Amino acid sequence: MDIFSITLVSSLVILLVFLATTDKGRRGLQLALRSLWLHKLRSFLSMLGIIIGTSAVIILMAFGEGSERDVLEDIKRLGTTNIIIRSVKPTDDANTNRRQMVATYGLTYQDLEILKTIPSITRLVPMRIFPQETRRGARAHNSRVVATVPRYAEVNELTLLDGRFIVEEDDERMNNVCVLGLETAKTLFPFEEALGSSVKLGEFVYVVVGLLAERMPTGGTGGSQAAEDFNQDIYIPLQTARGRFGERITMRAAGSRSAEKVDMHQITVTIEDVDKVRPTGEIVRAILSDPERHPRQDWALTVPLDRLELVERTKANIRQSLGIYASISLLVGGIGIMNVMLATVTERTREVGIRRALGARRSDITFQFLIETMVQTGIGGLLGVGFGVSYVFAHAALKALPMAAMLFQDGSPSPILHLPSITWSLSTAVGVGVIFGIYPALRAAYMDPIEALRHV
């Protein structure tokens, strides 16, 4: 919390304590509630601006919070100390051997060896990723084969439902073992026990040694980063893939046959310390940019940490525009209330005269009308908070219902209640009451009592 909101909130608390504990405060509060109750509709209408303002702030903040959480979770899944390097098919295919239709590009084993020499890198997880039909008897599944090393499990924080992940021994010995993603397992083994059974991948048969729990997909928000659904995966040891499938992978795309030779589709690199992520990223970039090694831009680098910063910058932007929005709506609400209060003061001129004759000081009159405005904006703020909070919960609840799914755009963020926005908007509402109530209140207090008494 910043100084501004701390000041606001603490003055709100002091005010509340004063109103609740002192005789004068309680009486002022009672009086204010009574006059407001006397003109229910008018009070409600004059509060409307404040109600809309506060509820809008709370709802917008909740959406901001929700989308922020979505992105943050995404980044966390990718890992803040990770750098992800991918092979990218270059757009100009000049170097492709057209006769053979084999495209050669991407990260090489040589790259991997060089990366291993960077001291700040603690972990390197290379993977090859290609689509391949997996079969189990008559059942088939269009899986995504991920050929990788045991540490893949650490980097991606995998949870196993059953069995184990690939181990070093599998890789060294080129064992024909595999680990199934949840959807793959469900499709291939709807009724039987998957663990210990075998599946056919290409020409070879693999023993299922592990089953993965469900994994949240990553969003496809950042540049080269495509959305990934890990549940369709099947994992095999990297060396096994080299042995069984060779370095070249043939793919069928839109009826035509194409093949590509890619050593590695992705290398996930883990850095020992968050502070060293960016410098290391620069080193990696420099190495890969060497035209000797990669004459074409056939790789891409994703630093999840950069996205974190982007999120923070976006957040600051959202805050700022929300602040402007809230100020405008509260200003409008405040003017509405001031207008009504000025009318009220005129209407109650005689009351002011009577009170003054009976001994009220100017400050008593100021206090009375000021409290009334503050109670008005305070109640308006509370109603706004109530509405905003209910909206946030209703939205989340509705979204959870399967039948209401079509009402929401895919991937739209769910609002998450942003608690500081409640105290903040509430105290701002009361603050608006003070600012816009002071003039009408002083106007009442500085009326000539004799003239006020003569007022009809």
Partner 1 sequence: MPEVLRIENLHKRYSVESTAVHALKGVNLVVHQGDFVALMGPSGSGKSTLLNVLGCLDRPTEGSYHLGGEDVSKMTDDQLSSIRSRYLGFIFQQYNLLPQYTVVENIEIPLIYQGVRLNADSRDRCIGLAELVGLGQRLDHRPMQLSGGQQQRVAIARSLVNRPQLILADEPTGNLDTKTSHEIMVMLSRLNASGKTIVMVTHENDIASWSRRIVRMRDGEVESDLPNTPEPIDFSGPPLPMHLLEEAA
H-helix or E-strand spanning residue 380: helix 362-400
Nearer to partner 1, 76 or 361 (CB): 361
Nearer to partner 1, 164 or 455 (CB): 455
For the bound state, the minimum distance from the C-beta of residue 20 to partner 1, rounded and expressed in Å, comes to 16
Nearer to partner 1, 326 or 447 (CB): 447
Please calculate the CA angle 118-263-157 and round it to the nearest 5 degrees.
60
8 A C-beta contact, residue 128 and residue 265: yes
For the bound state, the minimum distance from the C-beta of residue 36 to partner 1, rounded and expressed in Å, comes to 11
Query: Rounded to an integer, what distance in angstroms lies between the CA atom of residue 192 and that of residue 185?
Result: 10
Query: Rounded to an integer, what distance in angstroms lies between the CA atom of residue 141 and that of residue 187?
Result: 7
* Strands 160-163 and 204-212, bridge-based pairing: antiparallel
Nearer to partner 1, 43 or 329 (CB): 43
Residue 391 per-residue DSSP state: H
- Give me 233's structure tokens: 């995966």
For the bound state, the minimum distance from the C-beta of residue 357 to partner 1, rounded and expressed in Å, comes to 5
For the bound state, the minimum distance from the C-beta of residue 356 to partner 1, rounded and expressed in Å, comes to 7
Sequence letter at residue 277: V
8 A C-beta contact, residue 333 and residue 64: no
CB contact set of 131 (below 8 Å; sequence gap of 6+): 142, 143, 144, 145, 251
8 A C-beta contact, residue 290 and residue 14: no
For the bound state, the minimum distance from the C-beta of residue 363 to partner 1, rounded and expressed in Å, comes to 8
157: left (phi over 0), alpha (psi -120 to 50) or beta: left
Nearer to partner 1, 55 or 373 (CB): 373
Nearer to partner 1, 357 or 400 (CB): 357
- Taken in order 53, 54, 58, 61, is the CA torsion positive or negative? positive
8 A C-beta contact, residue 344 and residue 36: no
For the bound state, the minimum distance from the C-beta of residue 50 to partner 1, rounded and expressed in Å, comes to 24
Phi, psi for 301 (deg, rounded to 5): -115, 130
DSSP assignments along 163-184, one per residue:
E----HHHHHHT--EEEE-HHH
Nearer to partner 1, 58 or 452 (CB): 452
DSSP assignments along 263-288, one per residue:
SBSEEEEEES-GGGHHHHHHHHHHHH
For the bound state, the minimum distance from the C-beta of residue 445 to partner 1, rounded and expressed in Å, comes to 10
Binding site for partner 1 (CB under 8 A): 23, 27, 34-35, 38, 350-351, 353-364, 449-450, 453
For the bound state, the minimum distance from the C-beta of residue 358 to partner 1, rounded and expressed in Å, comes to 5
Nearer to partner 1, 305 or 345 (CB): 345
Nearer to partner 1, 150 or 449 (CB): 449
What interhelical angle do 362-400 and 40-78 show, nearest 10?
A: 50
Nearer to partner 1, 109 or 446 (CB): 446
Q: Any idea which residue has 């890789």 for tokens? A: 171
For the bound state, the minimum distance from the C-beta of residue 360 to partner 1, rounded and expressed in Å, comes to 5
- Give me 23's structure tokens: 């005789």
Residue 85: which of 251, 279, 222, 285 has the closest Cα? 285
For the bound state, the minimum distance from the C-beta of residue 456 to partner 1, rounded and expressed in Å, comes to 9
